[in-house]
Amino acid sequence: EPEVTQTPSHQVTQMGQEVILRCVPISNHLYFYWYRQILGQKVEFLVSFYNNEISEKSEIFDDQFSVERPDGSNFTLKIRSTKLEDSAMYFCASSHTEAFFGQGTRLTVV
Amino acid sequence: AQKITQTQPGMFVQEKEAVTLDCTYDTSDQSYGLFWYKQPSSGEMIFLIYQGSYDEQNATEGRYSLNFQKARKSANLVISASQLGDSAMYFCAMRLSASGTYKYIFGTGTRLKVLA
C-alpha cells in the first residue's frame, strides 16, 4: 500500500541551527502539506503546496520556514535558526481525496 | 470562523462495547470533507474514515462509522466492538478548499482508553 515516508524519524539539533525535514509523498498525489504537533497539543497547519508552489500558509509559517520540491519525489521543510519552541512532531501529508500522513519527524531543539 | 470542536478530552470504554467520539464543525463553505484520524502512542497519524459534505449516506469503514448530521454540523465517530488496540488519540479534521487547493484543520483530539 502506498504511504508517505518521512526522514529522519527523530532529529536533535542545537538552537540556532538549520534543519531539513524530508518527505516522500504518495506518487500520484498532487497536494502536499506540513503540519506540526507540539507535544500533547493539537495538530497545527503550517503550509500547503500545489503545482510547485505554496498555496496557503499559516501565521506560524514565517520567514524561518521554507518548503521545496527539489525533484519529482521529495518534499522538504527547512527550518532556519531553530528555537526551543520549534520542538515538535512534524507531519508531512499528501492528498488526492483524503490526506495521508507520514509517521512524523520528532524534532528536539536543545 | 472555520473550526473543529472536540469537546471530550478523554473517554473510557469497556472492551467490546461501542463508543461515540463527538465532533462538531463550523464552516460557511458548501463543499468540505470530514475526516477522522487515529494517533497511537507511537505518534503517527492514521486515516480512518472520510465523509464528504454532499454524501447522503453515513460513511462506514469496518468497525468505524461516521454519524454525519449536516444540519447540526456534527460528524461523530462511532467505533463498534472496541478493542484494546483502539486506545489512542482521535482527531476530527475538516478539509476546506479554496482557490483550487486544500487545507485541513484539526480538532484538539479525544484520548480514548479501552478497558479490558
A87: Cβ–Cβ under 8 A, 6 or more apart, which residues?
A: A38, A39, A107, A108, A109
Backbone angles phi, psi at B23, to 5 degrees: -150, 125
Q: Which of the four pLDDT bands, split at 50, 70 and 90, describes residue B17? A: very high
Decide the pairing of beta strands A105-109 and B101-106: unpaired
Compare CB distances from A45 to B33, B43, B103 and report the shortest one's residue. Answer: B103
Asked if residue A56 lies in contact with residue B98, where contact means CB atoms within 8 angstroms, the answer is yes
| Nearest Cα to Cα of residue A71 among A24, A105, A30 | A24
Assess whether pLDDT exceeds 90 at residue A6.
yes
CB within 8 Å: A101 and B99? no
Cβ separation A43–B45 shorter than 8 A: yes
pLDDT tens digits, residue range A17-26?
999 999 999 9
Residue B99: pLDDT over 70? no
B2 within 8 A of B107, measured Cβ to Cβ? no
Q: Is A60 on the interface with B (CB under 8 A)?
A: no
For residue B41, the one-letter residue type is S
Judged on CB neighbours under 10 Å (0-12, 13-18, 19+), B58 is middle
Residues from chain B that touch A93, judged by Cβ atoms under 8 A, are 45, 104
What's the whole-number mean pLDDT along residues B65-72? 96
Nearest to B35 among A55, A89, A98 (CB): A98
